[in-house]
Structure 1
Amino acid sequence: MLPEPHRLHRSADFSRTVRRGRRMGRQDLVVHAFTRDDLSCVFSIGESRFGLIVSKAVGPAVTRHRVARRLRHICSELLPDVPETADIVIRALPGAAALSSRDLHRQVRSGLKKLGFIDTAPSKDALS
């Protein structure tokens, strides 16, 4: 699971990341990324943080929670590859419910790579 210090909680953090950060759309999700270096505040020091947006458009509650659990697991695997000053919000689109965990992982990694937040190739263990 994704450790507590690596989670976005405050609405203001979500809003800042979505509105001021960069965005990369994939087929079944959108990755928003913001570097806290852009701010001169207390939060510029710390660890990378992830937030998830899984709306009712994705499906009923059971489906949304399943998608969110899979995305949290993917985010925890990506922690070593993401800069420490990054805030990342992943918005799941309706097609995410039908994807395998492997396909979700590829789309998240692809979005982060296009945004320049990771540049390493995925490990073979990460996609198993």
Structure 2
Amino acid sequence: MLPAGARLTRRDEFASTIRRGRRAGRTRLVVHLDVNPNPVLAPRAGFVVSKAVGNAVVRHRVTRRLRHLVADRLDALPPGAMLVVRALPPAATATSRELGADLDSGLRKAGAR
């Protein structure tokens, strides 16, 4: 579970991360990473899982899996980083291992530029 201080909660935080961050698209998700120059803040993450992914039960299941996967990788992000993970419809049928592989690949690509 992500602690409250590690979550993106406001619309403007999501919008600025998506607009200014580096994007890496994968089969099941899209990663937006904005490396904030403020090293005082801890890295934070947020999730976008639209109705295109499935009904409420499916969307919450995908969100829980992504939240668990990101919590394990949050310490690897630079201080002040803001991460938005947007699930695509194939995420509904993906296993946690597949989501983790896409997340790792997306984070590598978004951080490498």
1:73 paired to 2:53: no
Q: Give how far 1:84 is off.
A: 1.4
Normalising by structure 2, report the TM-score.
Answer: 0.95
Percent of aligned pairs sharing the same letter: 50
Map residues 38-49 of structure 1 onto 2, 5 A cutoff. 44=38, 45-49=40-44
Q: Secondary structure at the match of 2:5?
A: helix
Contact residue 41 and residue 79 of structure 2 kept, 8 A: yes
The aligned counterpart of 2:79 is 84
Between the aligned partners of 1:82 and 1:102, the Cα distance in structure 2 is: 20
- Structure 2 residue matching 1:56: 3-state secondary structure: coil
CA–CA separation in structure 1 for the residues paired with 2:79 and 2:73: 12
Q: Is residue 2:12 matched to residue 1:12?
A: yes
Alignment check: 8 A CA contact 2:21 2:32 kept: yes
User: Structure 1 regions of 5+ residues with no counterpart?
Assistant: 38-43, 118-128
Q: How many pairs were matched up?
A: 111
Within 5 A, what are the aligned runs for 1:1-128? 1-37=1-37, 44=38, 45-116=40-111
SS at match of 2:46: strand
1:79 deviation in Å? 1.4
Alignment RMSD: 0.9
Q: How far did 1:82 drift?
A: 1.1
Paired position in structure 2 for 1:120: none
The residue number in structure 2 matching 1:123 is none
Structure (1 or 2) with the larger CA radius of gyration: 1
Q: Higher RCO, 1 or 2 (CA under 8 Å, sep at least 6)?
A: 2
Dislocated runs of 4+, deviation >4 Å: none
Cα deviations by residue, 1:19-61 (Å, 9 ceiling, x for unpaired): 1111000011000010111xxxxxx221000000000000000
Q: Which residue of 2 aligns with 1:125?
A: none
Contact 2:22 2:111 in 1 (8 A): no
- How far apart in 2 are the matches of 1:116 and 1:7? 19
TM-score w.r.t. structure 1 length?
A: 0.84
